[in-house]
């Protein structure tokens, strides 16, 4: 019996030692990361998008609810367009009227052109008769004056036609503007996301820019943290990273470094140690690949705290190999850097 107890005690001690070692290497908050690695506390974040109508009006329909997923191109809400539809009909009538007026101006140009042709013909005949002394100089002057008047009438008719055509363009532009307002009354999702807040109901009147919905954009899911000046310059944009959420401490989510602040700054209180909080730090952002977010859209939750891990570039430009605890299981990882050691 005593032998079994001794063996059990030894096994328990051994397991405790191994567990403590793994926790110390990977997840111990107060301990330092392994050589060649850096980490920082943060939370998974995504940008918020406010959905607002461009014009003031009444909400006719809202097609999404809080918590619902949306994809790019989905209709989120529709504003009432009864007044705009009436304006569009009026604009279409104005365009038709302007086109009719332009048609009359076109006919006037043709008429003036024909009169000018007749006046020139009469003048040419008068010139011939005058040379034969068969027409008085007074009659010749009359024919020449009639030609000049016809030329001026044609010029005026052409100018009037251009003005009428510009009027058609103006009325068509006004019609297009109203049509654009009607199109803007249907609000679409510009990317994948999830409805966070529904801030209005059908029938309410909103001002221009009034908030209708707030979405959490899932196009870019990321975590921001801070590193000291001794480590931040050794982090490169495009390098692999890992995110270990607090709610899943044994899961390493692959990520990519997408931002390294070019300027040092003071850090918030969530930096790990007091000594680090007293020094200037650099903000780092690591983003989860969009294809990974799309594959697990229902599991993505913002605000979840965790630890972000990055590798530090060595003097020879190589990167250390990820330890086993930070190798993402069953997840497609980004292409590893060609400078990574085997």
Residue 320 located in a structural domain: no
Residue 20 pLDDT greater than 50, yes or no: no
Antiparallel, parallel or unpaired: β 281-288 and 75-79:
unpaired
Both 66 and 91 in one domain: the answer is no
Residue 2 pLDDT greater than 90, yes or no: no
Look up the domain containing 263 and give its range. Answer: 34-46+219-311
Residue 154 located in a structural domain: yes
Q: Between 320 and 174, whose confidence is greater?
A: 174
Both 131 and 273 in one domain: the answer is no
Q: Between 92 and 6, whose confidence is greater?
A: 92
Both 236 and 275 in one domain: the answer is yes
Out of 17-21, 47-51, 224-228, 276-280, pick the least confident.
17-21
Both 269 and 240 in one domain: the answer is yes
Residue 92 located in a structural domain: yes
Q: At which residue do the structure tokens 């705009």 appear?
A: 84
Residue 7 pLDDT greater than 80, yes or no: no
d(CA 175, CA 95): 8
What is the CATH number for 288?
2.40.30.170
Residue 324 pLDDT greater than 90, yes or no: no
Q: Cβ(210)–Cβ(53) under 8 Å?
A: yes
Residue 225 located in a structural domain: yes
Domain end among 155, 173, 206? 206
Both 76 and 195 in one domain: the answer is yes
Q: Between 189 and 281, whose confidence is greater?
A: 189
- Please give the tally of structural domains in the chain: 3
- DSSP class of residue 335 equals P
The candidate with the shortest Cα–Cα distance to 174, out of 101, 83, 87, 97, is: 87
Residue 331 pLDDT greater than 80, yes or no: no
3-state secondary structure of 119: helix
- By CB atoms closer than 10 A (0-12, 13-18, 19+), residue 47 is middle
For residue 288, list its beta bridge partners: 221
Residue 333 located in a structural domain: no
Both 196 and 61 in one domain: the answer is yes
- CB count within 10 Å of CB 257 equals 19
Residue 31 pLDDT greater than 90, yes or no: no
Residue 27 located in a structural domain: no
Q: Cβ(102)–Cβ(164) under 8 Å?
A: yes
pLDDT of residue 328: 58
d(CA 312, CA 54): 47
Residue 287 pLDDT greater than 50, yes or no: yes
What is the crossing angle of helices 137-184 and 82-131, to 10°? Answer: 160
The candidate with the shortest Cα–Cα distance to 296, out of 324, 246, 254, is: 254
Residue 274 pLDDT greater than 70, yes or no: no
Q: Between 280 and 94, whose confidence is greater?
A: 94
- Both structure tokens of 254: 């692959």
Both 158 and 39 in one domain: the answer is no
Q: Cβ(26)–Cβ(322) under 8 Å?
A: no
Return the H-helix or E-strand segment holding 220: strand 213-228
Percent of the residues in the chain that have a pLDDT greater than 70, as a whole number? 82
Residue 321 located in a structural domain: no
> pLDDT tens digits for 124-183?
988 888 888 888 888 888 989 999 999 999 999 999 999 999 999 999 999 999 999 999
Residue 58 pLDDT greater than 90, yes or no: yes
Read off the pLDDT of each residue in 211-238 and give the average, rounded to a whole number.
91
Both 94 and 111 in one domain: the answer is yes
Both 60 and 139 in one domain: the answer is no
What is the CATH number for 195?
2.40.50.100
Both 178 and 191 in one domain: the answer is no
- Both structure tokens of 278: 């007293």
Average pLDDT across the chain, whole number: 83
3-state secondary structure of 78: strand
Residue 308 pLDDT greater than 70, yes or no: yes
Out of 17-21, 183-187, 196-200, 270-274, pick the least confident.
17-21
Both 66 and 147 in one domain: the answer is no
Residue 8 located in a structural domain: no
pLDDT of residue 24: 45
Both 263 and 123 in one domain: the answer is no
Using alpha carbons only, give the angle 78, 84, 90 rounded to the nearest 5 degrees.
155
């Amino acid at each position: 019996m005593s032998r079994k107890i001794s063996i059990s005690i030894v096994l328990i001690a051994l397991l405790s030692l191994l567990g403590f070692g793994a926790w110390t290497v990977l997840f111990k908050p107060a301990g330092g990361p392994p050589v060649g690695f850096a980490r920082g506390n943060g939370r998974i974040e995504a940008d918020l998008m406010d959905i607002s109508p461009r014009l003031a009006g009444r909400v006719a329909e809202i097609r999404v609810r809080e918590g619902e997923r949306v994809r790019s191109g989905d209709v989120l809400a529709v504003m009432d367009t009864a007044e705009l539809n009436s304006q569009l009909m009026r604009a279409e009538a104005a365009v038709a009227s302007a086109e009719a007026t332009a048609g009359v101006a076109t006919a006037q140009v043709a008429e003036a052109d024909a009169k000018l042709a007749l006046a020139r013909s009469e003048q040419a005949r008068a010139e011939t008769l005058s040379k034969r002394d068969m027409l008085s100089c007074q009659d010749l002057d009359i024919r020449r004056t009639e030609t000049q008047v016809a030329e001026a009438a044609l010029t005026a008719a052409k100018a009037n036609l251009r003005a009428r055509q510009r009027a058609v363009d103006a009325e068509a532009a006004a019609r297009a503007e109203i049509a654009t307002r009607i199109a803007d009354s249907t609000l679409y999702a510009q990317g994948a996301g999830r409805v966070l807040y529904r801030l209005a109901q059908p029938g309410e009147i909103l001002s221009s820019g009034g908030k209708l919905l707030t979405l959490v954009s899932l196009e870019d899911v990321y975590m921001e943290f801070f590193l000291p000046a001794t480590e931040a310059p050794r982090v490169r944009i495009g390098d692999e990273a890992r995110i270990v959420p607090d709610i899943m401490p044994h899961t390493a989510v692959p990520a990519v470094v997408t931002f390294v602040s070019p300027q040092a700054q003071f850090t918030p209180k969530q930096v790990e140690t007091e000594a680090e909080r007293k020094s200037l730090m650099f903000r780092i952002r690591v983003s989860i690949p969009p294809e990974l977010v799309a594959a697990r859209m229902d599991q993505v939750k913002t605000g979840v705290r965790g630890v972000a891990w990055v590798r530090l570039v060595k003097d020879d430009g190589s990167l250390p190999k990820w330890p086993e605890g930070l190798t993402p299981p069953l997840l497609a990882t980004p292409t590893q850097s060609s400078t990574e050691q085997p």
